[in-house]
Amino acid sequence: MGGKGAFYWVSVSCGVVVLAFILLPLYEMLTAPSPAMLAEAMRDKNVVGSIWLSIYSSVAAACIAFVVGTPLAYVLARSSFRGQQLVESIIDLPIVIPHPVVGIAILSVAGKNHWFGQLMSDVGVRIMGSTTGIITVMVFVGLPFYINAARTGFQSVSPRLEKVARSLGASMWSTFVRITFPLAWRSMLAGFIMCCARAISEFGAIVVVAYHPMTAPVLIYERFEGYGLQYSQPVAVWLVVVCLTLFLVLRTIALPARKKNP
Partner 1 sequence: MIEINDLAVCLGEFRLRGITLSIEEGAFFALMGPTGSGKTVLLEAIAGLVPIQGGSIHLKQRDITRLPPEKRGIGIMYQDYALFPHLTVAGNITFGLRYGARDGHKAEKHFSTMVDALGIDHVLQRYPETLSGGELQRAALARALIVEPRVVLLDEPLSALDPNFREDIRAMLGEIHHSLGVTFVIVTHDFAEALSLASRAAVMHDGTIRQVGTIQDIFRKPTSSFVADFVGMKNIFAATFEQNAARLDQFALQVMGRPVNGGGHIAIRPEDITLSLSAGTALDGNCVPGVVTGIVDQGIFYEVRVSAGDQLFCTVVTKSAAFDLSLAVGMSVHLSFPPQAVHVF
By C-alpha distance, which of 89, 197, 217 is closest to 146? 197
In angstroms, what is the minimal distance from the CB of 11 to partner 1? 35
Distance of CA 39 to the CA centre of its chain: 28
- Please give the residues from 80 up to 139 whose contact with partner 1 meets the rule CB under 8 A: 80
- Other CB atoms within 10 Å distance of the CB of residue 230: 12
Rounded to whole angstroms, the Cα distance separating 229 from 223 reads 8
- Please give the residues from 48 up to 87 whose contact with partner 1 meets the rule CB under 8 A: 80
Q: How many chain residues are in contact with partner 1, going by CB under 8 A?
A: 21
From 39-47, 111-119, 123-131, 165-173, span contacting partner 1 (CB under 8 A) = 165-173
From 39-47, 107-115, 118-126, 164-172, span contacting partner 1 (CB under 8 A) = 164-172
When binding is defined by CB under 8 A, the residue of 4, 112, 114, 163 that contacts partner 1 is 163
In angstroms, what is the minimal distance from the CB of 126 to partner 1? 45
When binding is defined by CB under 8 A, the residue of 89, 118, 158, 245 that contacts partner 1 is 158
- Please give the residues from 169 up to 228 whose contact with partner 1 meets the rule CB under 8 A: 169-172, 174, 178-179, 182-183
What H or E segment, with its residue span, contains residue 233?
helix 229-258
In angstroms, what is the minimal distance from the CB of 183 to partner 1? 6
When binding is defined by CB under 8 A, the residue of 161, 229, 241, 244 that contacts partner 1 is 161
By C-alpha distance, which of 85, 185, 205, 187 is closest to 142? 205
- Other CB atoms within 10 Å distance of the CB of residue 138: 29
> Is-contact 180 150, C-beta < 8 A?
no
In angstroms, what is the minimal distance from the CB of 232 to partner 1? 47
Q: Is the dihedral of CA 131, 132, 137, 139 positive or negative?
A: positive
Non-local CB neighbours of 208 within 8 Å, separated by 6+ positions: 100, 103, 104, 107
Rounded to whole angstroms, the Cα distance separating 73 from 187 reads 12
When binding is defined by CB under 8 A, the residue of 137, 165, 189, 216 that contacts partner 1 is 165
From 19-27, 148-156, 158-166, 220-228, span contacting partner 1 (CB under 8 A) = 158-166
In angstroms, what is the minimal distance from the CB of 151 to partner 1? 19
Give 25 or 182: the residue with its C-beta nearer to partner 1. 182
Instruction: Name the 3-class secondary structure at 186.
Output: helix
Q: Which residues bind partner 1 (CB under 8 A)?
A: 80, 158, 160-161, 163-172, 174, 178-179, 182-183, 261-262
